[in-house]
Amino acid sequence: MEGILAENITFSYPDGYTAVEDVSLHISAGESVAIVGQNGAGKTTMVKMFNALLRPASGRILIDGKDIAGMSTAAVSKFVGYVFQNPGDQIFNNTVYNEIAYILRYNKCDAETLDSLVRDAAELCGISEYLSMNPYDLPFSLRKFVTIAVVIAMGSKYIILDEPTAGQDLDGLHRQRDIIQELVGRGKTIITITHDMRFVIENFQRVIAMADKRIVADAPREELFWDFDVLEKCSLKQPRIADLARNLGFPGRIISKKDFLDHATEGEKAEFCSNQRTQ
């Protein structure tokens, strides 16, 4: 079966703490999925098992039908690229170019293809002008784009983004949205862990919510953000716009400004727009 399939995976850290317990899920090839939930729920631990940075103590993970238990982390990461929450955990080359090119050189990519892959990834991430710079001379927000460019150049079919919006301004958020759309258009599978519910609503249809080592819900965003039991269990908040729509008695599961404006009367729209301007 194509995609990432986790079957009853459990993981405990060396100190004995179990961070993920008996979790099963399937993410199809080409899907884009957001993983949300309270701090310490086990999100990062779970996705690190998808690219063999961590190995389950029990259960198994199949990538495109192949059990990754017997594969090295380097071999798995050709298929499943992982962008760390903190770029400092990932970047170690002296220029942005070399950082993006490193894994391609390691995999003996020919010079011409390598150069074209590096430049394409840099352009998509908006960092072409920084290729000759030391990544550590760039601000945190741009360093994050360097690490995203690395997995794009690698050509991984599955891309995991851990907290991509942390430290990003509005420009950075828009650039991330454009990158995700482009990658989905190229047939990539995007899995993101995030605490940014606006980012979720704008970019992801399927949402997986975790709490206390387990998956509590796996549902379309409209369903998940109107399930108050799940929201409470996972320490999530309903978007403010949903709350407003509920108070106004709007029908349906509104979760975005677009949904809201589709339901509002002309008077409500005018009031909403004027409130937006004064915020």
Ligand X SMILES: Nc1ncnc2c1ncn2[C@@H]1O[C@H](COP(=O)(O)OP(=O)(O)OP(=O)(O)O)[C@@H](O)[C@H]1O
Site stretch for ligand X (CB under 6 A), options 43-51, 88-96, 131-139, 220-228: 43-51
Task: Mark 176-205 as b/e (b = at least 16 C-beta within 10 Å).
Answer: beebbeebbeeebbbbbbbbbbebbbbbbe
220 binds ligand X per the rule CB under 6 A: no
Please state the closest distance from residue 20 (CB atom) to ligand X, in A.
7
16 binds ligand X per the rule CB under 6 A: no
Phi, psi angle pair for 211, to nearest 5°: -150, 140
Nearer to ligand X by Cβ, of 176 and 192: the residue is: 192
Nearer to ligand X by Cβ, of 88 and 252: the residue is: 88
Nearer to ligand X by Cβ, of 23 and 96: the residue is: 23
42 binds ligand X per the rule CB under 6 A: yes
Please state the closest distance from residue 158 (CB atom) to ligand X, in A.
18
40 binds ligand X per the rule CB under 6 A: yes
92 binds ligand X per the rule CB under 6 A: no
194 binds ligand X per the rule CB under 6 A: no
252 binds ligand X per the rule CB under 6 A: no
57 binds ligand X per the rule CB under 6 A: no
Site stretch for ligand X (CB under 6 A), options 42-50, 196-204, 240-248, 259-267: 42-50
CB pairs under 8 A, 24+ apart, for 8-14? Answer: 8/58, 8/59, 8/60, 9/46, 9/49, 9/56, 9/58, 9/59, 9/60, 9/61, 10/56, 10/57, 10/58, 10/59, 11/42, 11/45, 11/46, 11/49, 11/54, 11/55, 11/56, 11/57, 12/57
Site stretch for ligand X (CB under 6 A), options 32-40, 87-95, 102-110, 172-180: 32-40
Nearer to ligand X by Cβ, of 190 and 254: the residue is: 190
Nearer to ligand X by Cβ, of 43 and 143: the residue is: 43
15 binds ligand X per the rule CB under 6 A: yes
Residues 210, 158, 116, CA angle at the centre, nearest 5°? 145
Cβ atoms within 10 Å, residue 153 = 26
Nearer to ligand X by Cβ, of 154 and 210: the residue is: 210
Site stretch for ligand X (CB under 6 A), options 36-44, 57-65, 118-126, 249-257: 36-44
Please state the closest distance from residue 212 (CB atom) to ligand X, in A.
10
**Contacts to ligand X by CB under 6 A:** 13, 15, 17, 19, 37, 39-45
